Amino acid sequence: MLAMYRELLTEMGHMPICANNGGEAWGLYERYHPPLVLLDVAMPVMTGLEISQRIRGSQQGLDTFILVITGYDREGDILSRVLDAGGDDFLGKPIDADLFHARITIALRNIHQRHARRAAERALARAQWLAGIGETSLALQHEINNPLTAILGNASLLEMDDFGGDESRELVHTIAEQARRIGEVVRRLAALKNPRSVPYLEGATMLDLSSSSGGDTGGAS
């Protein structure tokens, strides 16, 4: 049976990775994470249903298409057991070559649709993230620029006025310098062309507002 599956898949242009038992099959899955997995229900070491459950429980297994093959009577509870174990489709023995080809074609279409959906979800998430950055940027400019302009204007006047001692002048200079620094951050936020996240603390990220980030082509993490 294994030789027949290999031949049918090879004829369709695929490169099957074959296992002689369930334990070997699980090891190969962990190593290669193939998008399509064919499992026989009755296998030594580990059954096809056990492997299906393990695949669905793994991080990479959410998008894996699982086709379960069995010689058990379709009138029994095997179909519900296959679905409960995470299988996507069911094929009974004896195997018909045309039906096998049709099931594999359906599986591949499903895989492509899943990949397209994941890509669309990632694109939507990034669009929403970018929209949030834009709204935040406008809010900060609106809320910060007016009071910041007043602080900078008065600090500049005090810097030009010869009043107080050296300590007072140093304090005014520090206020003006930090206010200009805030103004530069707001300016960089408004000029961001391709926002991205960078590591901040362990398990956390922050928006990259470094002077080189405005024209960066990297994506958001």
Q: Does domain 127-207 have CATH number 1.10.3470?
A: no
- 52: number of Cβ within 10 Å: 26
Amino acid identity for residue 155 in this structure: A
With the C-alpha atoms ordered 33, 82, 98, 26, is the resulting torsion angle positive or negative? Answer: positive
Please tell me whether the peptide bond between 94 and the residue prior to it is cis, using omega within 30 degrees of 0. yes
Cβ–Cβ under 8 Å, residues 50 and 22: yes
Please give the model's pTM, rounded to 2 decimal places.
0.60
Select from 159, 188, 187, 161 the least CA-distant residue to 175: 159
Average pLDDT over every residue of 45-55: 94
Average pLDDT over every residue of 6-29: 93
With the C-alpha atoms ordered 205, 207, 213, 216, is the resulting torsion angle positive or negative? Answer: positive
Who has greater pLDDT, 25 or 141? 25
DSSP state of 60: G
pLDDT interval class at 211 (50, 70, 90) = low
The beta-strand segments (E) located in 18-61 are 36-40
Instruction: Tell me the C-alpha distance between 71 and 95, whole Å.
Output: 9
The beta-strand segments (E) located in 46-85 are 65-70
Query: What's the confidence (pLDDT) of residue 212?
Result: 52
Query: What's the confidence (pLDDT) of residue 71?
Result: 78
Domain range list for the chain: 2-95, 127-207
Query: What's the confidence (pLDDT) of residue 165?
Result: 64
Is the pLDDT reported for residue 107 higher than 70? yes
Instruction: Tell me the C-alpha distance between 90 and 97, whole Å.
Output: 15
- CATH H-level, domain 2-95: superfamily: Response regulator (3.40.50.2300)
Instruction: Tell me the C-alpha distance between 184 and 148, whole Å.
Output: 11
Is the pLDDT reported for residue 216 higher than 60? no
Query: What's the confidence (pLDDT) of residue 221?
Result: 38
Who has greater pLDDT, 50 or 74? 50
Cβ–Cβ under 8 Å, residues 69 and 41: yes
